[in-house]
Structure 1
């Protein structure tokens, strides 16, 4: 054991002596590893960023929420069958909540009506077109996380009395009330005057496609007073027991069928949607991007490994006489193998460290320059980067180190 420790110390000393003595060659050798680690790490940060973006986007849906709607969230071929379904009435939410009050131990917890449309919003000379306007129940904050930077959500009294109050998204507040608080101010929504009572916190983009901050929320009764409600834009959001989702789904299906007075033999004329449907469609795309990206960036690491192997072979050739001398003086094959193997691994580790620093710096720059671009630089990537550098060093250096350890000392001493 003591001899092995001595051999390792000697191998590290010789390896770093050679690296310092051949600075330019060592730097060029490490360059392939640096480029490979930067490429793979940046791809890893992008993949983790996409995952984080997807999770953040789905956080607004809720894992324990089912959406009673006319259309399914998946693609359909027989669209005419869905088109002919009766509309989803927002009044269903009251019926569901009445059932919840009568069955406190049931799997259904809360129902919130919702309807939406695109409207124009005007404040003085400022105008925003086609803003996502949502009419919802006052109890929505009990179901979904509603972070507000200012103000509050509308109350039960304001909702039932159909008051003209509005909660606006971050982008709407920034565009219509630059540099000032919008609370208590008025704006025109769909030609009607509304008072701003709250501002939603910034939510970013849904899957990076469209902004979640360009929207406003008003009481559902106010929405029904001023806007036409159709079946394509209405839904009932129902919070259920997430631990027993399938049972809760069946319980809700039976309840909605009774509310819509469907015959037992009739097919459902509504859809129960949940975020799992969207996940099932997005996950294969996300996984395909991850696999393809890592395969492409992995080629850079392969080139770096081949470069290290070639340079290590050159180093073995240059030091053939040195190897012969050391073997003639009693050096073991293991000692020679460790010397060249540790030299290759050391170059890879130095290259890996520089590559990780470069990747971290580039990630920070991208986050500052493009805030909406999903970038997550995780400590796990640092660990993977260093482990990957060691593996590359071992794989690239084992063959040259093995050939050096097998040299015959007599032949090596005669080498010119």
Structure 2
């Protein structure tokens, strides 16, 4: 055991001496690994960043909320059958809440009606368009994960009375009230004046397609006065997350009773949840991950070829040295270890430099683009180091094995 230890230390010393003696060649050899590790690591951080963004976006839908809608959250073939479904009504939420009050042990907890429309919001000379405007009830604040930056959410009295009060998103507040607090100020939506009573904290966007900060919420009875509700009503039901399957079936049966559907009739509504979106996004995420890692892995493969090539060159250059050492009694394993450690050393140095560069780039991107920072995790650090170690072993093994098998007589005569 001690002999192997000394041979290992001696191989490290020889590898360090060779790298110092051929600095430029070693650097150019390691460059392929550096580029490969940077590419793979940056792709990994980008994928982690996308995953984190997706999770953050999905959290806006709530893990414990079921959505009763007219249309399913998926592509449909028989468009007309969904088009002809009867629309949902605000009263359906009241019926569900009555059931919940009578059956407190059920997995259903709270039903909230939500009506939506796009509108233009005006305050003096300031105007923002395409704002997602929601009409809902005061209980909406209980099922969403939104803190208030300032002010408050509308209460039950304001909700039932249909007061002209609104809670606005962070971006709406920033655009309409750049120089002061919006709370207590008025704005106009269509023909109605509304008093701002609260501003929501910044929530971000859903995959960059829809911003939760470009929203206005008002009591649903106030919404009715200014907008045609039509088919734009959904019912959000908070449930016991640990009993999600039971809650879904309970809600389905309850909605069928509310709509008086006979046993043989199909559902004329859909119950959606966060999982539906995730199931559609997961295959796309897997495809992006596989394609990205395959493309960036090619650069690491090129780096491995470079190390193997330079190790072959090193063996050729030092053939006489190998012959001399073997003639003096060096074992095949010792020669194999020497050249393998040299290849691994170059690869690991390249991997460390690559990881350092990748970390610096990630920090720079996070500063320049705070809305979508890449996620540089400890796992990626270990993966990057492991890959550089594996590249060194795999690319250096065959040349090192060839060196260990050289006949000492032939090696000494090599010119």
Greater CA deviation, 139-148 or 56-65? 139-148
State the alpha-carbon separation in 2 of the partners of residues 371 and 211 from structure 1. 16
Secondary structure at the residue paired with 1:326?
helix
What is the match of residue 108 of structure 1? 108
Alignment of 1:15-94 (within 5 A): 15-94=15-94
What is the match of residue 276 of structure 1? 275
Secondary structure at the residue paired with 1:121?
strand
In the alignment, does 2:260 pair up with 1:261? yes
**Cα displacement (A) at 1:149:** 1.8
Structure 2 residue ranges without an equivalent (≥5): none
2:311–2:343 CA contact under 8 A, matched in 1: yes
Secondary structure at the residue paired with 1:62?
coil
In the alignment, does 2:360 pair up with 1:361? yes
Alignment of 1:286-305 (within 5 A): 286-305=285-304
**Cα displacement (A) at 1:145:** 0.7
State the alpha-carbon separation in 2 of the partners of residues 199 and 9 from structure 1. 65
Q: Provide, for residues 100-125 of structure 1, a one-character-per-residue CA deviation record: whole Å limited to 9, x for no partner.
A: 11100011111111010001101110
Secondary structure at the residue paired with 1:138?
coil
**Cα displacement (A) at 1:323:** 1.1
1:138–1:156 CA contact under 8 A, matched in 2: yes
**Cα displacement (A) at 1:200:** 1.5
1:53–1:208 CA contact under 8 A, matched in 2: no
Q: Provide, for residues 286-306 of structure 1, a one-character-per-residue CA deviation record: whole Å limited to 9, x for no partner.
A: 111110111000000000000
State the alpha-carbon separation in 2 of the partners of residues 138 and 310 from structure 1. 70
Q: Provide, for residues 319-364 of structure 1, a one-character-per-residue CA deviation record: whole Å limited to 9, x for no partner.
A: 1111111112221111111111111111111111111111111122
What is the match of residue 338 of structure 2? 339
1:208–1:372 CA contact under 8 A, matched in 2: no
Alignment of 1:14-413 (within 5 A): 14-231=14-231, 233-413=232-412
Q: Provide, for residues 243-264 of structure 1, a one-character-per-residue CA deviation record: whole Å limited to 9, x for no partner.
A: 2222211111111111122223
Secondary structure at the residue paired with 1:372?
coil
Distance 1:29 1:179, change over 3 A: farther
State the alpha-carbon separation in 2 of the partners of residues 181 and 4 from structure 1. 73
State the alpha-carbon separation in 1 of the partners of residues 326 and 150 from structure 2. 77
State the alpha-carbon separation in 2 of the partners of residues 90 and 310 from structure 1. 73
State the alpha-carbon separation in 1 of the partners of residues 366 and 391 from structure 2. 30
State the alpha-carbon separation in 1 of the partners of residues 381 and 371 from structure 2. 23
State the alpha-carbon separation in 2 of the partners of residues 402 and 149 from structure 1. 66
**Cα displacement (A) at 1:374:** 4.7
2:108–2:237 CA contact under 8 A, matched in 1: yes
Greater CA deviation, 216-225 or 377-386? 216-225
State the alpha-carbon separation in 1 of the partners of residues 354 and 210 from structure 2. 34
**Cα displacement (A) at 1:366:** 1.9
4+ long deviations beyond 3 Å: none
State the alpha-carbon separation in 2 of the partners of residues 304 and 317 from structure 1. 20
1:52–1:374 CA contact under 8 A, matched in 2: no
State the alpha-carbon separation in 1 of the partners of residues 80 and 312 from structure 2. 70
TM-score, length basis structure 1: 0.97
**Cα displacement (A) at 1:208:** 2.4
1:165–1:196 CA contact under 8 A, matched in 2: yes
State the alpha-carbon separation in 2 of the partners of residues 153 and 178 from structure 1. 21
Greater CA deviation, 167-176 or 305-314? 167-176
Structure 1 residue ranges without an equivalent (≥5): none
Secondary structure at the residue paired with 2:90?
coil
1:37–1:356 CA contact under 8 A, matched in 2: yes
2:161–2:221 CA contact under 8 A, matched in 1: yes
Number of positions where the alignment pairs a residue of Structure 1 with one of Structure 2:
415
State the alpha-carbon separation in 2 of the partners of residues 190 and 344 from structure 1. 72
